């Protein structure tokens, strides 16, 4: 450790030690800000490049991304040192460049964060799309199948009744002379043949539709397994596609002769499209995601903020020569008071007497500017500044050194006075 610091620690005691530790901590935090800014700029650059590379050639996107991030950091760093009242044109040109770069960075970064935040949502939408198409089709064919079976059973029941009426001689087609005669006559044989054929046809239809129900059950089972995260998802999707075609062929073959208005089977997306990731496009702005935009803007916001603070705040403590210069220059100010924040406040303008004497105050104003840039003073308004907490120990140390020098001078002056008094008496 520097001997100067050790001497100050011994002379200043605990207060000086705390001030040194605080100054060191603040300096380390300001140094640590630099890699944080670079890391944030790198992260923002990656997301910007990712989004931009889907629209233009990758190497061109890389060059533009580097330019955008450089503009953001440089303009944020530069705008902290520009006072807009002093140079409005420069201030607004830098501000405009910063806003344009931020707009480009956030816009293209939005695509990456949209992909991250909406990936699961897109997958669920595709899953629901496949399910809804298949289930809607199955619902249609199940409804038609039920209506067909009900109609065929009703016809069988009606033929059965007609066979019974013909057997007991009450059928309307039996001549009046043969009414109420029980037996198996010509009319009974005719309707009995129709009944047996219809009954056999119904049994065959029920058997075929029972096979269709089995195929529908297998298709629905595969649909239930479609949302699983497994390596067999490709096989399951292919089974759904082939199972849907089998159900369609089986249903059309059995029902086409009864009903010509058959529902069209859905066309499922290819498996490659089903598992395809999100490709950035301007359609993402249609399905706007506030979360993705906030995340994209947050990275650039912190980059701008830390870059701004890196220039705006003090870069480090004062050197020994700067401490001496500051102390001597501040002693030339005369108007001090304690303000509402319980801080020492001083007026940095010339007094009326100084103006009358044409006093040159640039050395002390240089000291004020130095302390403002280092964070040891805080500007209250155009004519007053207040002391920051880190300045009090420095001034106290300098005042202590001055008091110690005065004591030493007074101590040396007393022996000298005692030695000169007897000589004076002898002369008398």
Q: For 310-327, how does the pLDDT look when each residue is reduced to its tens digit (9 = 90+)? A: 765 555 567 777 888 888
- Sheet (strand 384-387) strand order: 336-338, 344-347, 384-387, 377-379
Instruction: Identify the residue with better confidence: 106 or 173.
Output: 106
Instruction: Identify the residue with better confidence: 424 or 301.
Output: 301
pLDDT, position 233? 80
Helix ranges, 53-87 (H): 58-79
pLDDT, position 428? 40
**pLDDT average, residue stretch 161-171:** 79
Residue 4 has pLDDT above 60, yes or no: no
Give me the chain's average pLDDT, please.
Answer: 78
Confidence of residue 260 (pLDDT cuts 50, 70, 90): low
Q: CA-to-CA distance for 210 and 200, rounded, in angstroms?
A: 15
pLDDT, position 67? 92
Residue 230 has pLDDT above 70, yes or no: no
Q: CA-to-CA distance for 288 and 283, rounded, in angstroms?
A: 9
Proportion of the chain above pLDDT 70, given as a percent: 82
Distances (CA, A) of 327 to 318, 324, 335, 365, 397: 11, 5, 16, 12, 10
Q: Which range has highest mean pLDDT (49-63, 274-288, 392-406)?
A: 49-63
Among residues 283, 254, 310, the alpha carbon closest in space to that of 141 is found at 254
Query: Is residue 388 within 8 Å of 375, Cβ to Cβ?
Result: yes
Confidence of residue 204 (pLDDT cuts 50, 70, 90): confident
Tens digits of residue pLDDT in 325-351: 888 888 888 888 888 878 888 888 888
């Amino acid at each position: 450790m520097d001997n100067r610091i050790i001497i100050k620690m011994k002379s200043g005691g605990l207060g000086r030690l705390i001030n040194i530790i605080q100054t060191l901590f603040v300096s380390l935090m300001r140094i640590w800000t630099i890699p944080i800014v670079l890391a944030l700029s790198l992260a923002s650059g990656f997301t910007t490049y990712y989004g931009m590379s889907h629209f233009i050639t990758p190497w061109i996107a890389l060059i533009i991304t580097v330019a955008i991030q450089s503009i953001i950091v440089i303009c944020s760093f530069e705008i902290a040192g520009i006072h807009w009242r002093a140079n409005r044109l420069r201030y607004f040109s830098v501000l405009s460049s910063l806003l344009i770069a931020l707009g480009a960075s956030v816009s293209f970064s939005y695509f990456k964060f949209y992909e991250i935040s909406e990936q699961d949502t897109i997958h669920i939408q595709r899953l629901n799309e496949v399910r809804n198409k298949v289930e809607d089709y199955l619902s249609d064919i199940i409804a038609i199948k039920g209506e067909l079976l009900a109609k065929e059973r009703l016809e069988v029941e009606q033929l059965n009744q007609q066979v019974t009426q013909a057997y007991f001689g009450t059928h309307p087609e039996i001549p009046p002379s043969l009414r109420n005669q029980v037996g198996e006559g010509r009319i009974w044989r005719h309707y009995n043949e129709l009944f047996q054929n219809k009954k056999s046809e119904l049994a065959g239809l029920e058997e075929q539709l029972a096979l269709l129900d089995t195929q529908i059950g297998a298709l629905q089972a595969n649909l239930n397994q479609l949302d699983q995260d497994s390596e067999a998802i490709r096989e399951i999707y292919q089974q759904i596609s082939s199972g849907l075609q089998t159900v369609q062929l089986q249903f059309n073959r059995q029902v086409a002769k009864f009903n010509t208005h058959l529902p069209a089977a859905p066309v499922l997306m290819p498996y490659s499209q089903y598992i395809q990731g999100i490709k950035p496009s301007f359609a993402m702005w249609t399905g706007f995601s506030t979360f993705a935009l906030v995340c994209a803007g947050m990275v650039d916001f912190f980059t701008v903020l830390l870059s701004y603070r890196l220039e705006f705040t003090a870069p480090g403590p004062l050197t020994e020569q700067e401490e001496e210069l500051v102390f001597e220059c501040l002693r030339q100010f005369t108007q001090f008071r304690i303000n509402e924040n319980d801080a020492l406040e001083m007026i940095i303008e010339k007094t009326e007497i100084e103006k009358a004497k044409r006093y040159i105050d640039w050395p002390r104003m240089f000291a004020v500017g130095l302390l403002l840039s280092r964070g040891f003073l805080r500007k209250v308004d155009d004519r007053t500044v207040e002391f920051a907490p880190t300045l009090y120990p420095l001034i106290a140390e300098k005042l202590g050194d001055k008091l110690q020098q005065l004591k030493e001078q007074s101590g040396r002056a007393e022996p000298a006075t005692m030695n000169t008094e007897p000589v004076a008496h002898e002369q008398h």
